[in-house]
Amino acid sequence: MMKKLLSILVLTALTSCQQKIKVDSVVINANVYTVNSSFDKAEAFAIKDGKFIEVGNSKDIQEKYTSDSLIDAKGQTIVPGFIDAHCHFLGLGFNSKQVDLVGTTSFDEVVSKIIEFSNKHDLKHIWGRGWDQNDWDKKEFPDNRLLNKLYPDTPIVLTRIDGHASLVNQAALDLGNVTIDSKVDGGELVIKDGELTGVLIDRAQELVKNYMPKASRKDIVDALLEAQNICFENGLTTVDDAGLDREYIEIIDSLQQMGDLKIRMYAMVSGTPKNVDYYLNKGIVKTDKLDVRSFKFYADGALGSRGALLRKPYSDKPNHFGLQLTDLKTFDTYAKRIANSEYQMNTHAIGDSANHTVLNIYKNVLEGKKDRRWKIEHAQVISPEDFKLFDDIIPSVQPTHATSDMYWAEDRLGHERIKGAYAYKELLNHYGKVALGTDFPVEQVSPFLTFYAAVARQDVKGYPEDGFQMENSLSREETLKGMTIWAAYSNFEEGEKGSIEAGKFADFIILDKNIMEVPVKEIPEMKTLQTFVGGESVFN
């Protein structure tokens, strides 16, 4: 009798094992925020062929699935892989080959860093990026006299942190034959006492940059792989690169096909005539890793360099309205062409005048067209009457801009106009979603700083104590959605990523703390413990 009973038990156990489904990996004992439509929580999930196949509790998942790879999360928090809805991925990689000027507190410090960099590298030309005169005691644009003295024969280009102005020396000006009489639409050459200072704003930078040596294919590949390492460390699994030429997109595609570049990318194509003609004729390009279905345009410059286009003059520079980077006739023509295609149009608009113009052109060319998901990138300063125009236009915003700019933004805009700036909650209320990003390397890569800035509206020092215009802060749930499912939606990718649900790519991250419950002041110091793309561990 005992032998018979034992046989039945063994047979039952074997049958049970045979009935389990073999998968690539199983994750259990986790605190999972699925970010599905109900914002449900879970404990476990199973992964096969790079996708989630079931999400539930640990007991049920373990009873149903078996795997050689069992990950016990031991209570750690898991969220969908972060999506940066607006960044400059390739630019981040190139930064490693440039003088890092972020955080410099004076022009003397800028020069010291250039000297230190040039002493370490034997270079025929020097690039730098990250200076911001608003962080200096003397909050004025610098000039190139000292650079001319120290480096009379070495072209130097030092790009401002926002990318919308550069300081160049005379050797660099000579490359493009730039003189005091040079002119460029959508740009400004800063002149003082009848001489060029070397500061070039917005499109005037092209007068020099177009003549600087071009990056080799190896330089580009190295930059992409370096940027990938940084992004994976920060928990980013998809990046929206806001402005790439065809050459770069094709290199990205080849690296992804070879398996060297594992990060997923939503590539916004730079809105040049050549690029627009090529991709409108080619149509949408879509793989599991690459999505090319949008164009990036510029309506104006940046607020920090006073290039943002305002409806009334700058409060700290009377009679100055900013810069229009694309003339209205050209912009309208492009908008009509793109509206008649499957492509999305994404436009950089900072000032209230730029936003007003772009919104109205969008509305006109999209009349009668449904679910086009065109975006305004930054949507930084909005006139009160224009918020309602975001009812079917996606606001793609970067919360850390608010906490970086709050020290001087009111000086530019004045007491009343600042109320319509960095108004993320107001934008959310009108569209129902916001896509969140960083704009790195303009800001830091860390999504945790994005999360903190959106919720706390403070800098990492806790300033201001009560938060900056807290009526426009976002809740933690809204912020997490903006960094995952809403960002995916803005890319037409909500069906394949942005939440932890069966059928979607197994892109997820394990965090060192519970981002939804940890004291808000601890969020900036949070870390990603592991990053997974398609179920594969890409950072540990």
* pLDDT tens-digit map of 361-384: 999 999 999 999 999 999 999 999
pLDDT in tens, 76-130: 999 999 999 999 999 999 988 899 998 899 999 999 999 999 988 878 899 999 9
CA distance 35 to 500: 7
For the chain, the straight-line distance linking the first and the last C-alpha, in angstroms and rounded, comes to 53
Query: 447 near 135, Cβ under 8 Å?
Result: no
Q: pTM score, two decimals?
A: 0.91
pLDDT in tens, 178-226: 999 998 888 999 999 999 999 999 999 999 999 998 899 999 999 999 9
Is the pLDDT confidence value at 8 over 90? no
Sheet holding 51-56, edge to edge: 51-56, 44-48, 25-28, 70-72
Predicted local confidence at residue 493, as pLDDT = 98
- Torsional class of 503: left (φ above 0), alpha (ψ -120 to 50), beta (otherwise): left
pLDDT in tens, 218-275: 999 999 999 999 999 999 999 999 999 999 999 999 999 999 999 999 999 999 999 9
**Nearby residues of 57 by Cβ (< 8 Å), 6 or more positions away:** 42, 43, 44
Predicted local confidence at residue 413, as pLDDT = 98
pLDDT in tens, 452-491: 999 999 999 999 999 999 999 999 999 999 999 999 999 9
- Residue-averaged pLDDT of the chain: 95
CA distance 418 to 426: 13
Give me the mean pLDDT over the 289-297 stretch: 98
Predicted local confidence at residue 15, as pLDDT = 47
